[in-house]
Amino acid sequence: GGLSALSRSYGLGIDNVLQFEAVLANGTAVTVDACSYPDLFWALRGGGGGSFAVVTAVTYRLHPASPLVELHLVIDVSDEDNPSAAGALRAFYHKWVDVNVEGLDRRWGGYWQLSVGYGLMYFLGTEAEARATLVTNLEDWKEALPTSQAQRINFYVVPKPLGYVHSRTLNMETDVTGYDEFYVGSRLVPEAAVVGNNGADGKALLDALLDAGFVEFTAYQLGGKVTDVAADATAISPVMRSAIWSVISDPTLAVALLQQNLTGSAPCYNHHQINEPGDWAEEFWGANLPRLNEIKAAYDPERRLNCWHCVGFQDFVVGVDNVSNASSVSSSAGAQFHHAVQFLHVVLPSVLAFALTSAFA
């Protein structure tokens, strides 16, 4: 959908798309907007990877420049076995639930990490406005804490140019030196699950996660402008429009716990696990899936555009009947050949389409 630290102020990336230039599966180049190919315009805004058309250009809505303030939330949990560290961490996240219950000004957006006690929030406005809408509240709360906890919590407020949010991503080191086997899953947390019972539900949820000792846990702060858009106005999961957090974590731990304990949640397509359990298409798009299937059938009836866990995804090998019955090969070399054929015929042709449009998933 195009999540960012500014989503609560401006909406999702797909909410700001005015027009696409695209190539259909039949080779026709088209301009897609609310008036021309409106059904395709709807599908391309949140309908997943490039299985509807190959997008070659996008026109976005612009917004006036604004002052920007960065807020670092830091909790010292380096000696995590110390009771004051655990107490400070839990106290802060209980306070964060209270902030959400009270109603966080929509000019605030950003990310926070659970067990490491770190948050990076951004405010579209002046430093004085940032302090009035959140920072002073947090500072007053900190002063009321036991000294052993308060001394572990720090807030750093720094004015920044508006482009700073994007530059942090552009300036990231990109040289690949290796990889690890950690992979992520995600879960959209409905607002009702956090603010329900005056925040008691949200605190109980975070307590369960903290008690389980999860470290790899990052949450986007949602709500604000994101919720102003009707659930069926774009193709993205309707749950996105009522979610307060988008949690990214280990799918076998935190995400699994959230899935088991939340009603009305769903995975976020941008960060879903590679082997999403159950009916992944229903999980990703919910009530919007039937219409997406109809649009897929209309614009790509032969299913020429195919990518992993996209609308209309087909997990099969094209032309394998002509390769010495490769589907029945059981040897290691034969199995490798089978997968190579599958990649060349099914995955590779859609790589370009997926790469160009994944930002609008």
CATH number of the CATH domain containing 124: 3.30.70
pLDDT of 331 higher than 60: no
The mean predicted confidence, pLDDT, of the chain is 80
Q: Would residue 327 count as lying in a domain?
A: no
Q: Regarding beta strands 29-32 and 54-60, do their DSSP bridges make them parallel or antiparallel, or are they unpaired?
A: unpaired
Q: Would residue 343 count as lying in a domain?
A: no
Among 49-53, 226-230, 271-275, name the one with the lowest average pLDDT. 271-275
Say if residue 75 is exposed, middle or buried (CB neighbours under 10 Å; 0-12, 13-18, 19+): buried
Residue 335 binned pLDDT confidence (cut-offs 50, 70, 90): very low
Residue 126 belongs to domain spanning: 68-161
Q: Tell me the average pLDDT across 210-236.
A: 87
pLDDT of 350 higher than 70: no
pLDDT of 16 higher than 90: yes
Q: Tell me the average pLDDT across 47-59.
A: 91
Selected residue with higher pLDDT from 337 and 152: 152
Q: Would residue 35 count as lying in a domain?
A: no
Q: Regarding beta strands 118-124 and 217-221, do their DSSP bridges make them parallel or antiparallel, or are they unpaired?
A: unpaired
Q: Would residue 61 count as lying in a domain?
A: no
Q: Would residue 103 count as lying in a domain?
A: yes
Q: Tell me the average pLDDT across 34-52.
A: 93
Selected residue with higher pLDDT from 186 and 38: 38
pLDDT at position 319? 44
Which tokens belong to 165? 């949010």
Distance between CA atoms of residues 301 and 294, nearest Å: 10
Q: Would residue 251 count as lying in a domain?
A: no
Q: Tell me the average pLDDT across 265-289.
A: 70
Which tokens belong to 290? 């039937």
pLDDT of 13 higher than 80: yes
If one counts the domains in the chain, the total is: 1
Nearest 10 degrees: CA dihedral of 42, 48, 49, 54?
Answer: 0
Q: How does DSSP classify residue 104? A: -
119 phi/psi in degrees, rounded to 5: -145, 150
Q: Where is mean pLDDT largest: 28-37, 188-197, 233-242?
A: 28-37
pLDDT at position 71? 96
Q: Tell me the average pLDDT across 267-286.
A: 67
Q: Would residue 135 count as lying in a domain?
A: yes
pLDDT at position 252? 65
- % residues pLDDT > 90 (the chain): 52
Q: Tell me the average pLDDT across 138-146.
A: 97
Distance between CA atoms of residues 197 and 212, nearest Å: 23
Nearest to 191 by CA among 265, 298, 119, 250: 265
Q: Would residue 322 count as lying in a domain?
A: no
pLDDT at position 200? 96
pLDDT at position 282? 82
pLDDT of 12 higher than 90: yes
Residue 354 binned pLDDT confidence (cut-offs 50, 70, 90): very low
Q: Tell me the average pLDDT across 159-169.
A: 68
pLDDT at position 117? 83
